[in-house]
Chains A and B, each alone.
Chain A
């Protein structure tokens, strides 16, 4: 099993902590899904004197490894500063690196991303870069020192699923040893299962659960789907074929007489 900077995940679901109707429902969603990692954003919540600390301590109480992110950062400098704040506050070298390049689609700025990843890796961070499925960008990120990749399925919060399955498949095939998470764009359990069937190591989602009518039920569904997809991948699925192939031999059956 591929590891995340030496850590093996208890299950293939990473869950975000934003936009839930209440912290109580957030906690319930984590319990229901048993998510292995909690991502959290500290940019908006951190004001003077770490004003978000009450909310953060609610998240710490989930007892799940934390993956702080740099959501909302648009430049290398902002992202690096936010990563340093996160490391100090949450005492973890893990950082989900987001550098947004386009405000409407929240598409990553991959050039700034590679630069920020290099700076942070040299500084001892273990970087989880939110990237596209572009092979060359992936290569640059790995050269910059990343050992994990987080390609998008579709734009953040869109719920569109896997927009470029071919690209994701190709990425998986090119870097067979790198732990990879499909991050962003997952709207339904079937999307999560599909990503896992392709051989990804985990899925990360937030809006699909937080904005569901019943976040707890949706969290449970996502966990089951991710696990089903993972089990299917490990089971080496059959190849699809054009001809019907009966699973029971037909020779000797009544219809031949």
Chain B
């Protein structure tokens, strides 16, 4: 069989290359940047593998397909931490916690002593919370690098210029807007902090009617804070308002974050279709896999499986809405 050319080595391209290679297919992986890095929006991701929590605002496939993620990432990269995730709200926002509970499954209700047991540093700070014990998280940059190295071990290195190919799998994310005109960007801003004064064992979401926040521990006192959701395609320009809001939410979670060092402020735009669900489209010899939205690490394994099912076995997967072979 001819080699398949995959364009774009972000989370989608790397996952698809891995899946196809592991199933015996031959791929070339092309990205002008040669290594995963700041040019891909997955570099800035939170890395929460939280299908139950995401169901609060996402549609059903995100939960079902997202349940595949933790096992896949663990098998391919060994970077997964399975500690669940914790959802909290300040006293005055308890209504948001009740709403979150109504719209999700897979959690246990927690009271202050139970929260303290899970996260000793949050002892006495929250009256109630929801613990999603089956959720997991990973460090996105480590995971992307691990996939890259694993592919290299199997003879797939990232090439910087495409060769003529029989079939191309286009994983360019937002850059594919030249072909996918219904793709839009949803801007996200995030921060990375170093805060050895605070220890958290798992991602914590702090609900708020206007400024929801999540904090993902990266180990060694490093935390990722995210993320804004703005209907805009621009991939730069972090605003003071966004940073202020995220930092004050972190400070509300634990005042210890007031002493944190700001290591990075990041921004990019997530590629999304109108229903915020991913799509596979075949047009001639090109297969587009795109629209992972804020679910890059959560849905890339399912997307990779479905692309592989299509290009290797000729199947029509559920998220394929166009097939002009």
User: Which residues of A are at the interface with B, using a C-beta cutoff of 8 A?
Assistant: 21-25, 27, 44-49, 51-55, 58, 157, 211, 213
Contact = CB atoms under 8 A, between A and B. Distances in A.
Interface residues of B, number: 25
A25 B234 contact: no
Between B58, B209, B231, B269, the greatest number of chain A beta carbons within 10 A of the residue's beta carbon is seen for: B231
B297 to A, nearest CB: 19
Given A52-B232, A55-B232, A157-B210, A23 B274 contact: yes
A22 B232 contact: no
A55 B231 contact: yes
A119 B230 CA distance: 30
Question: A-B pairs with the 8 shortest C-beta distances?
Answer: A51-B234, A24-B275, A51-B232, A55-B231, A54-B184, A22-B276, A47-B234, A24-B274
Interface in B43-58: 57-58
A24 B276 CA distance: 8
Contacts of A46: 232
Contacts of A157: 209-210
B103 interface: yes
Given A21-B58, A157-B209, A213-B102, A54 B233 contact: yes
A67 B239 CA distance: 25
A22 B272 CA distance: 9
Given A24-B274, A27-B274, A45-B232, A55 B57 contact: no
B283 interface: no
Contacts of B183: 54
A213 B59 CA distance: 11
Interface in B266-295: 269, 272, 274-277
Contacts of B233: 51-54
Secondary structure at chain B's binding surface: helix, strand, loop or mixed? loop
A187 to B, nearest CB: 11
Given A47-B232, A55-B184, A213-B102, A22 B275 contact: yes
Contacts of B269: 51
Contacts of A54: 183-185, 231, 233
Contacts of B210: 157
6 contacts: A21-B57, A22-B274, A47-B187, A48-B236, A51-B185, A55-B232
B282 to A, nearest CB: 22
Given A21-B57, A21-B58, A58-B184, A49 B274 contact: no
A45 B103 CA distance: 28
A236 to B, nearest CB: 38
B122 to A, nearest CB: 24
Contact of A58 (B209, B274, B277): B274
Contact of A45 (B57, B230, B237, B277): B230
A53 B233 CA distance: 8
Given A21-B57, A55-B232, A213 B103 contact: yes
Contacts of A45: 230-232
A53 B232 CA distance: 7
Contacts of B274: 22-24, 27, 58
Interface string B78-112: 00000000000000000000010011000000000
Given A22-B274, A23-B274, A58-B184, A49 B234 contact: yes
Contacts of A44: 230-232
Interface string B222-254: 000000001111101100000000000000000
Nearest to A41: B231
Given A22-B275, A44-B232, A58-B184, 20 more contacts: A21-B57, A22-B274, A22-B276, A23-B184, A25-B275, A27-B274, A44-B231, A45-B232, A48-B234, A51-B187, A51-B232, A51-B233, A51-B234, A52-B231, A52-B233, A54-B231, A55-B184, A55-B231, A55-B232, A157-B209
B276 A47 contact: no
Contacts of B185: 51, 54
Contacts of A27: 274
A168 B233 CA distance: 41
Contacts of B187: 47, 51
Contacts of A51: 185, 187, 232-234, 269
A75 B300 CA distance: 44
A49 to B, nearest CB: 7
Contacts of A52: 230-233
A100 to B, nearest CB: 12
Contact of A21 (B59, B99, B232, B234): B59
B135 to A, nearest CB: 20
Nearest to B103: A213
A21 B237 contact: no
A48 B209 CA distance: 27
A190 to B, nearest CB: 19
Contacts of B103: 213
Contacts of A211: 99
A53 B234 CA distance: 10
